[in-house]
Structures are given as C-alpha cells and as structure tokens.
Structure 1
C-alpha cells in the first residue's frame, strides 16, 4: 500500500504542476479507503514541506448537507493550506494556473491557541480564536471534470488551490456567526447569499470536528493558523475575466480577479 500511496501522490503533484487533470482514483483503485486517501494527502503535503513550503492553516470541506449527499458521505473532509496558496485581497490570478477553478466564500478563523483533539468542543474553538476574517477559497480539482468521490477529493487536498484573505480582522464577540450574512457577486452580479449557519450550524462546530478528526493522524490545529470552516453557499465556476467578491457586512469584504 505504501508504494501505491507514493505513486498516487506523484500523479497529483504532476497534475497540479502541469494543470493537466488525471482520472479519478476511485475508477482505478476501488479498494482505496478514506484513511488511504488522507495518507495520500499527507504524502503530498510532506513533500511540499521538504521543498520549503510551510503550513499556514487547514480547511474543512463538505460541511453542507447538499455536498455530503452528492458524494454519498455523512461527514466533512479536510485539507492543508500552505504558504504558496495564500493570495492577497484584490489580487489578479492567471486562470491558466488552474485546471477547473471554482470559488467559495468562507469566514476564516485565526487561532490564538492550539486546538488538540480529541473532545474539542464548539466552546473550545470560540475560546481559542483570536480573529475572524473574510476569505475566498479557490478550489480546483486535479481530477478530470470534477468527477470525484470522497476518496478522490480527500487525496487531492480537499480540492483546495488558493485562499484569498481579506484585510479586516474582527473579534468574535462583535458578531453572531450563525446569522452573519454573506453576499456573493460574480462580475457585480449577485449570484448567492449565505450565512454562518451553513457550516454545520456554526463555523465553530466545523472547526471542532476538524480538530478531533486530525487527532486520528496525530495532527493538531496550531496558534496562528488560518482555519477555513466551510463554504456559506455553493461554489461558483470562474473563467478568464471574472471578478469574484464576497461581502460579509460588518466583517468586511474580499475579492479576486481572474485574468
């Protein structure tokens, strides 16, 4: 199994570097487990660390019931955020640097304390949070045509590609995250709205799930890390010339351009 994990990690790294998608692993390797797919993800991440990258945070995906039903699962998944994935607010990115990008709007958490599972609760997350910040996650499947199952997206780092971080940092007590609203625009056209409750009822619940899940792999959430708790609405497909903006009311806004 170790040799297969290394082989599939090679394929994902090559697909990301060349922007040439690969076939879903679940089509060729029907016995791959979710545990195996996390091992593939960690193999890719560890190789990038050896090349000089650093981990700046983690992301939770599949927090909505609709996405879980689509992939036939009953829990979220996660991925790692590395330093070369961070994008400044308003930055322009080349659409050609992605395979098939989509964008999601999320309320990011920046931790002040470590969160080490098991038994992390929603309250623990709130107490460990330093700031919240508006973010956009650019997701991009290295699997052809997004024809993925849970094993495929987990191995592919939760289909994560970039994270755009807003400039306004807010304290948790300044807002009720369950009802905090988000307006999502594509080229100045409102295409979706959402609220914090979309992420497992409250974003902090998603982060608690993540801390406890990571315990299975002897990984923890670290002080200073940016944690993305899940999208507040459906992802939007983007193409050359598009500008995506998410407005979070008093929490600020964040945008990215694709050239």
Structure 2
C-alpha cells in the first residue's frame, strides 16, 4: 500500500495545479532522497490523468544536461509522463495562465516505430526502434513555489512537466546523428540558450536507452507510437507572457511557440 505521505504529496501537487497557486516542497514528507516514494507520487498523478480521459502518449527525460543539473542542484536524470493534453502545435500559443512558473528548453524528440522492452536497452536498440526525429520545445513548469526543488520534488511533480511542442519536421534517424546536432534557442531575435546533442548525456540516444531500460525494469516499457523527449540540449530559460521562442537544431530544422499576452484567452 502507498504511504500516507505519498498521498499527501500527490494532493498538494494536484491542488497547486488546480488552483494555480504553487505549494511548498514535498521532499520533507519523505526520507532524504527517497526517489521511489517520489515516483509513487508521480504514478498517482498519472492515474488521475488517465481517469480524466487523457491519453498517455509518451515520456520525457529530464535532467540530462549538466547545465540544467547545475541550475537545479541535482546529479542524475529522471523521467515523467506525457499526456495528450500537454501537446501544442508548432507555431502555436501557450494560453495565458495555463502554467504556473514556465521555463523553456530545446531538445530532440523521437517517435518510436517499435516497442522497446529490453531491460538493458542500448543506443543501437533505440536507433533501430525510432521511426522519426523532430526538433522539440519542452515548456517545463513547477507546482512547487519558486522552483525550490530537489530531485525528489521534481520526480514527484511529474519531472516538472508542463507542455511540449514537436516541430513539423519528421526526419529519418538515418539522416541525423543526434549527438552531433547544434541547438540555438532564441527569444525573439535574442540568443538565450545554446548547446549540442553531446550535452544530453553525451548523446540523446544514450538518454533514450536509459529511459527504455528503466521503464522496462518497472514493467512499463516504451511502445510503438510513443513520443520520447530526450532531454535539454542547453540551459532552460524563464518564459513570460508575450514571449516568442524559436529553436533551431541543425539537421532537424526549427520549432516555434509563443506565450499569449496577459489577459488573452488564446
């Protein structure tokens, strides 16, 4: 049975999301560094989303960039669930008030064409299972006040997931080397973040192999059709109403999102 602390943390995070008011960190409800308990909280969130009729469409990998790890004071990757309600169209808009404390990062997205069920999945396995590759923006968010998080907090909070955008380009894995891509993220015309595929655990395929193996060991393997956000290629950047971001990733093209001005409904 799940502990009272797990249910309490899930309730705090759900209330924060529902009310738009961030909550205190949840880490103090658990033993120091209890990541298993944090994933139990995340599982309750997933069950809530599924019960509401939202489809699970993939997974995100977080904390793969050393720069982002330094920003958040953590030292290992994590993962969260992607639901149908989190996907936005390329060149779309984030509605005003949709998120609490958004930040944005650019990354590579994989769309799988085959299941990945191996408990010791390799980058070669990921490559063979990948149907297409796209540029992506992940708009991370935290239900915890002031982003005051440890890895326990972010895992419990669905890996600080918010929304995501896949670029319209669908590139064959045979036409791109994910480790070699170069990324530049612009706010308007201003360069605000940059990095490369090697900034994501040395290779985004390494990150995806870690995720596939981890999920297979948990009995929740990646399936054909899943979207995998492989992790940030550079530092994440705060986003505010009225911002427009464009990421350009070599060999993959670009992806764009705007944040609706305050008072806008779209």
Structure 1 length-normalised TM: 0.95
CA contact (8 A) 2:17 2:143 kept: yes
Q: Which residue of 1 aligns with 2:160?
A: 159
Single out whichever of 72-81 and 105-114 deviates more from structure 2.
72-81
Distance in 1 (CA, whole Å) between partners of 2:196 and 2:174 is 17
**Per-residue deviation at 1:26?**
1.8
User: Greater shift after overlay, 57-66 or 33-42?
Assistant: 57-66
Q: Aligned equivalents of 1:215 and 1:226: distance in 2?
A: 16
Could you give the per-residue CA deviations for residues 16-53 of structure 1, whole angstroms, max 9, x where no partner exists?
A: 12211000012454456100000100111011101101
Deviation at 1:67, TM superposition (A): 3.5
Q: Is contact 2:5-2:30 (8 Å) kept? A: no
Q: Map 1:4-153 onto structure 2 (within 5 A).
A: 4-31=5-32, 33-69=34-70, 71=72, 73-153=74-154
Q: How far off its partner does 1:94 sit?
A: 2.3
Partners of 1:32 and 1:62 in 2: how far apart? 16
CA distance in 2, matches of 1:56, 1:16: 20
- Structure 1 partner of 2:183: 182
Contact 1:95 1:239 in 2 (8 A): no
DSSP-derived class of the 1:125 partner: helix
CA contact 1:56–1:83 (8 Å) conserved in 2: yes
Alpha-carbon RMSD: 1.5
Query: For each residue in 1:50-88, what CA deviation from the matched residue of structure 2 results, as whole angstroms up to 9, or x when unmatched?
Result: 110110000001112343355554420000000000000
C-alpha change, 1:37 and 1:51, in structure 2 (3 Å) is same
Offset at 1:4? 2.3
> Unaligned 5+ residue runs, structure 1?
none
* 1:211 equivalent in alignment to 2:251: no
CA contact (8 A) 2:68 2:236 kept: no
Q: What TM-score, normalized by structure 2, do the two folds share?
A: 0.93
SS at match of 1:178: helix
Conserved? CA contact 1:99–1:141, under 8 Å: yes
Structure 2: how far apart are the matches of 1:187 and 1:241?
A: 10
1:199 and 2:217 correspond: no
Give distance in 1, aligned partners of 2:110 and 2:91: 20
The structural deviation recorded for 1:247 is: 0.9
Deviation beyond 3 Å, 4+ runs, structure 1: 27-32, 66-74
What whole-Å deviation, never above 9, does each CA across 1:80-131 have from its counterpart, x for those lacking one?
0000000001111124111110001011000001111311011100000000
Question: 2:175, 2:242 → 1: CA distance?
Answer: 35
Residues paired across the two proteins, number = 259
- Runs of at least 5 residues in structure 2 that lack an aligned partner in the other structure: 261-266
The SS at the match of 2:88 is strand
SS state at 1:60 partner: strand
